Amino acid sequence: MRNTGLVIDDRFQLHDPGAGHPDSPQRLAALARLFDADPFRALPRVRPREAAEAELARVHSASHVAAVAASAGRAMTRFDADTGASAGSFLAARLAAGAAIEIADAILEGSLDNGFAALRPPGHHAEPDHPMGFCLFNNVAVVARHLRARGVERVLVLDWDVHHGNGTHHTFYADPEVMYVSLHQYPFYPGTGAAVEIGSGAGQGYTVNVPLAAGTGGDTYLAAMRDVVLPTALRFDPRFVLVSAGFDAHRDDPLAQLALESEDYAELTSAMVEIADACADGRILLLLEGGYDLAALSESVRVSVERLREPKAAGLGTAEAGAGARDAARALAPYWKI
């Protein structure tokens, strides 16, 4: 049994993007109930702290940070049609980014083996210079840059949210030390993430996009993980594994049209643990992104945390990986043997 740490905090619920918004504070309330029940109530908790401006500045422009800071204390600030901030959102967003750093440090230093951070607001759509897509600061990008600043040579960011993480993609597009891998519904919001988008300059081959058609189920999704993600990631040989863990590819989620079951997230977690065990001394951290059906979210998080605590061999099946995986493999062929 591994020493899996958790992050969750009532202050993340201070972020309220408006009545009827999918990213409701109730998402965190549902996970709080899960983590307060056996067996998760006994797991170690990492207390959030606010990210420092210098930590945010590794990813975001000063004008971006200032724009989010200006929302503090105001009833509602709109950054785009989907993305708003309430009076407490700036605090919640700084706490989310700081919490990601704190639990990553605990894993890096060995007081935890791995972890799951239930954060709000989410982060992977936040661009270096503006909030976007429910996201204010890019939590996974902030922690990846923090790990690099601490001397971690290669960081893998795997994004299994149903939406392409455009902000993370753009942050690391020319960076050969952070590999960004995304499996996502395509074409779909935000419009980025085609298989041919593989990085630029020194970063060519270090961005991996696996586009999946609406209606794709778990067998095809897991086969894409087997045939593209695992071999590429193992050759990259990361020293720390981060997962932008959105759970909105679930068949019950209201915002998209992929068809994963909760148990598929257990297999995805197992596959990522296998990469972490092979390359990074088991160091892996899952950071919450999307997931808007509360029952599906809770069950998918439950099985994911269980696989962090007690790893099992990933069951990725024998199905065909599908056109998106084939397109990704062709685009990456000059850079990786897969």
Q: Are 208 and 328 in contact (CB under 8 A)?
A: yes
Q: Which of 15, 60, 125, 169 is catalytic?
A: 125
Q: Are 169 and 182 in contact (CB under 8 A)?
A: yes
- 3-state DSSP assignment of residue 89: helix
125 is catalytic: yes
231 closest CA partner among 329, 148, 334, 134:
329
43 closest CA partner among 309, 258, 321:
309
In sequence order, the 6+-apart residues with CB closer than 8 A to the CB of 5 are 43, 44, 45, 46, 103, 106, 107, 112, 114, 115, 116
Can you tell me the distance from the alpha carbon of 74 to that of 72, in angstroms, rounded to the nearest whole number? 6
Q: Which amino acid is at 245?
A: A
- 3-state DSSP assignment of residue 23: coil
Active-site positions read: 125
